[in-house]
Structure 1
């Protein structure tokens, strides 16, 4: 009797192994395929969208941001500073009246945006270096020390400056229609703001710079929009440097 039971158990174990081993192989393969698909999905997620697709920007034309769904935007930079408390009583009243007039004239959406960016003194430093040969020896020594100080000040990357902007947006069926409407709104804003501050529309490179700093402030100094434009990154035709020019410069 025990021999019969032992034989039954033995054959059952063989049957389980025979049926279970292919199942284990199938589940293992399925799990591996699932892991591979998850890895592939993660790779695709890492690639993601580029900045233009993420911001839903189709193009920037003459300073006008063209977005999806027939949306258009214009950015005005407001510069200057007024200490209201240092104004006389009559000047304060005039400024308040101007502000009330501006608020009464606006019947369209307006966004106020302040952007902080790292201090950039590269243009000032380049200008000083370009004029070094025009200075006497003592002034050259002083200018050299000043350039070194400015370079050190800029390299710390701890000093921030703030720029203020007004963003105007509209929905239009065409670029021409949007340009007319945004220009009308810009003139209303400028008419009152320019009485006390400076308000100017940003051009295309300036708009690109604002967007670049918004998305990647830390690398804005090393990867400048202005440098990319000077190198011809956005030109339709790029001219290479000939060997004769290289020899001539050498």
Structure 2
């Protein structure tokens, strides 16, 4: 009987060090979270300026990147929990009735309409020249060959420096287009990756007191 492979064997991540994702082939990834803007509400001149700046940004890149869009049903339960606490703390009878009606309205509305939330990320890759081509897949995490060589501190710092330079280029370019960019740290990266590899976990009920 064949031995069942451990789940970890299918996850191409070796470790996350100082906010940098180290893959099993020793290539690196950084994740940038990017804001959105309502392009249709901009004036014609503003739209032209945004397009021009974004075009310049794309032309300035001399390395590949990946855009990842996370679309999920909005979890309204934490907000309902907060409103329930406000309902319990309310001393005015009229306000208490209105709060209860508001809670019921929000519950029924979100049950009948799928309200989606979107998060936008840019994956910044860096692969040391001796490793060859970078891997592909969701978040650029798949397809790379496993490398058993240990990434020494000096090599890691040198590679991270190159990765940081690329991340800065992207951050500056998108900022000129009116977008806000935030670099994910270790905890945020772990949370995002956990949701990617365990999509059902985000749908589990939140325990309310």
Structures share a fold, TM > 0.5?
yes
Give yes or no for contact 1:78–1:199 (8 Å, CA) kept in 2.
yes
Match of 2:28 in 1: 72
CA 1:72–1:197: 2 relative to 1, 3 Å: same
CA 1:179–1:53: 2 relative to 1, 3 Å: same
- Distance apart, 1:66 and its partner CA: 1.3
Q: Determine the C-alpha separation between the residues in 2 that align with 1:153 and 1:56.
A: 40
- Structure 2 residues without counterparts, runs of 5 or longer: 129-150
Match of 2:74 in 1: 119
Number of aligned positions between the proteins: 180
Q: Determine the C-alpha separation between the residues in 2 that align with 1:180 and 1:135.
A: 57
CA 1:104–1:58: 2 relative to 1, 3 Å: same
Q: Determine the C-alpha separation between the residues in 2 that align with 1:221 and 1:205.
A: 20
Moved over 6 A (4+): none
- Distance apart, 1:150 and its partner CA: 4.1
In the superposition, the TM-score normalised over structure 2's length comes to 0.71
Deviations 1:209-247 (A, max 9, x none): 3222322322323289xx9xxxxxxxxxxxxxxxxxxxx
CA 1:158–1:87: 2 relative to 1, 3 Å: closer
- Distance apart, 1:120 and its partner CA: 1.5
- Structure 1 residues without counterparts, runs of 5 or longer: 1-39, 228-250
1:99 matches 2:79: no
Give yes or no for contact 1:77–1:164 (8 Å, CA) kept in 2.
yes
CA 1:137–1:184: 2 relative to 1, 3 Å: farther
- Distance apart, 1:193 and its partner CA: 1.5
Match of 1:49 in 2: 6
Q: Determine the C-alpha separation between the residues in 2 that align with 1:155 and 1:217.
A: 20
SS at match of 1:220: helix
- Distance apart, 1:152 and its partner CA: 5.3
1:221 matches 2:177: no
Match for residue 97 of structure 2 among 141, 145, 148? 141
CA 1:178–1:120: 2 relative to 1, 3 Å: farther
Match of 1:18 in 2: none
- Distance apart, 1:114 and its partner CA: 1.3
Q: Determine the C-alpha separation between the residues in 2 that align with 1:76 and 1:201.
A: 5
In the superposition, the TM-score normalised over structure 1's length comes to 0.60
SS at match of 1:184: helix
**Which structure has the greater CA radius of gyration?**
1
- Distance apart, 1:170 and its partner CA: 0.7
Deviations 1:169-196 (A, max 9, x none): 1124533223322222122111132242
SS at match of 1:69: coil
